[in-house]
Amino acid sequence: MEMKDLKRQLKENKIGKLYLLTGPEQFLIRYYEKEIVNKLMDENSKAFNYTVIGDKTSINKLSDAVSTFPAFCERRVV
């Protein structure tokens, strides 16, 4: 997917089920991550349904995070 497609989806509130944000522009990655999260949940839901995975995270922790059902919200963001 190209950035223009992501912009369109955000504008139309048609958020997909899976995004993998990668690339050399960390500012853009953080910006679009924030946009997606803010479209999907309010501040209270983030405490239960928003998990940041770093490059040192084990595959088991990643698997656990994506397998966990959302709490008090329709979606979960990992």
- Residue 47 in tokens: 């405490």
pTM for the whole structure: 0.78
Tell me the HSE value of 78 on the side-chain side, using a 13 A CA sphere.
16
Q: Please list the pLDDT of the chain residue by residue as tens digits (78 residues).
A: 888 999 999 999 999 988 888 889 999 999 999 999 999 998 888 888 998 888 888 999 989 988 999 888 888 998
Place of tokens 């998990």: 51
Q: Which residues contact 28 (CB under 8 A, 6 or more apart)?
A: 3
Domain extent listing, the chain: 23-78
